[in-house]
Structure 1
Amino acid sequence: MDNQSDLIKELRSKLSSFENRVRELEAENAKLTSIVSSCTCRHEVEETLDTDVSDKNTSAINLEKLKLGNCVGIGKRKPKKKQTGYNLNSMNHHSQRLVALKIMYFGPRFYGFASEAQMDPTVESELFKALQKTRLVLGERKDVLYSRCGRTDKGVSSVGQVVALLLRSKHKEPGGDTSEELLDEGPDEGELDYVRILNGVLPDDIRVLGWCHAPVNFSARFSCLSREYRYFFWRENLNISAMENSCKRLIGEHDFRNFCKMDAANVHNYKRRITSFDIFPCNGSDQLLFMKIKGSAFLWHQVRCMVAVLFLVGQGLESPDVIDVLLDVDKTPRKPQYKMAPEVPLVLYSCEFEGLYFKCSSDARRALQLHLEKKCRGYKLQAAIFQEALLSLSSTKDDDSVTNITKRKVSSHVPLMSRPTEPSYDERRAKLTFSAAPAQRESVVTKQYT
């Protein structure tokens, strides 16, 4: 019992000592807080810390130490080191301007351009990672007036995609505070080198090719005058003349519901205008060709569906007249089932806007050229390796002693107009209405009994 009594006394003594120490520390903390609050250099210290991009994880303890060190020290302030690279100014005081960016990307690695599908990586998700890493965007995507010209599918590439959004600007409105101000217009000289900044952190298969100041009411989607796609393919045994005949039939304004993936829940007008549709040799080659398709806007998978039907015509499996039949939605309200053309050869080549002229600094252009040349050489090396494999294969002899017992089944072509069809637009809408009806009836009943 005596031992327990002594232990209790000892513990109470220590507890009392700790309580006294806590009171002393609280008094000291109040004194230091008073000193900091009256310090005239506090704002400067906070601004210096805010603009230090490299030190992202400065703790609250280090912050207090830095404040006190500048306020209660010898009185001499160390000169601020000039930051190298780009001047990423304080995020608390900034100007913004609406900027259009011209972007190229090589599509095979990405699940499309847009990031709404919850699949990674997408071009858009990688772009916003770069924008946030460089602190060029000052808020969430919904706050920066973001718009995109097109949303290409998985595997599709582009050398002329355009997006627009509010980016941080070095220019300030004359006459004071620039916090959260939007610069409608301003000089481009001395502006941040957006191309070089972003290309320094983007992955190798995405590059910004140029930037341009855009008016406040600009939308990369709705301000676009026309879009041009190119689809690359090998001539092989295709009847190019018949394909060109079919191309001409697609020019003009038509209802393209039989040349797209129908989204009856969101799209109700399937009329689109194609202004040109031609076939050209690629870089003077008579074997590698490309289709050039230009129009004001396109439906979901429209280009790949048109190309698929053109390939059937080129193979002699369909007549060019099938184009006219599919465009007549009164006679053909249901799309016949057919496979789309592959996605990898498709490229969004350009997006046309009135009054937009993209620019790029000489340093950024030089870096871009070196990067693209390096990528070209890399793919040429890969092609050379496969070419060597072909040459090596040609030197091997056939072994007639081995009987090939597996025979490849050759499927016969079923004419498009004899194939099973997909539901028509009216049938899809009726199904959507029927599916929504029980929920509507339940809502009405609930309201009656509440």
Structure 2
Amino acid sequence: MAAAGSDGEAAALVAEVDALRLRVQELERENKRLDKIASRCTCGSKDDSASTSPVVSASLCGSNQESKNIKSHCKGHQVGVVSHCPKRLVALKIMYFGQRFYGFASEAHTEPTVESEIFKALERAKLLVGSRKESCYSRCGRTDKGVSATGQVISLFLRSNIKDAGLEEMQKAASKFIGEHDYRNFCKMDAANVSNYRRHITDFNISAYDQRSNYDELWAITIKGSAFLWHQVRCMVAVLFLIGQGLESPCVVDSLLDITKTPRKPQYNMAPEIPLILRSCLFDEVNFLCSSEARIALIEHLKDEYHQYMLQAAIFHEALSCLSFPASYEERVAKIRTKSADSV
């Protein structure tokens, strides 16, 4: 019995040693992998080099797709870049007290610096558009450890809330609708009455309208097709609006038209119904008749309605021009100083 017990303990020890040996081998492989990653790391370099890295993002169609984003290294922290966002060049005037900083410029092994804190703040605010080189980053000067500043200035491209209407992108996406496609992802499903969701679009054009004001410019989207599904036009236009705002790329239309890739319609809001007009319905060998009296009466009625809406628009325009906002504290002080100087 004692011999049997000793044999069992020996076998257990051998098994434990084998397990430890395998664990050591796994750790050695992991160590080699980490060494390779560390050898490619540029976090400590003075040049702001950028490397591409795939970032998974959720698209409108609900499936995950890989889009190449750039990650820049700003002394110890990584910055995710969204390249399609609008941007503009800005100059920032900065005040800082240097007692707790190792100077202004970011250098290796000298945290914190004013520059590194600025980029961390810009990252948290989601304002960065690329690496420092891509953002055309520049500074007026650099200060040493402990030195303060009340008027330091830096400039770089940042994300902007001034959104351009991406008309070219919208027209590019609109052209993808032309032809015969399955539009089940661009309509409200009516399974009780509709089994075929294929429709043929012959023309899809975006053009400037001849009406504009000081505040807005009107554009018209003209769509021609053999037939349309329930809410198909409003759904197509809604996706175009997302593309025009830079929230989606034109390729999302391809994804939504591919029912094997996107078998179910994603959730998104339809375009409003007020601007939508059913312009005409055409039939072969059918001519509609309208008497001259009825035509004249209809024209006069539409003119009256048009003038009424023009009058309402003029009233709202006048209301907008009459709006005044109280002057800021700085403006009031400047006005008082100007009056004082004139009186002297």
TM-score category (smaller protein): 0.3 to 0.5
**Greater RCO (Cα-Cα under 8 Å, separation 6 or more):** 1
More strand by share: 2
TM-score (norm 2): 0.46
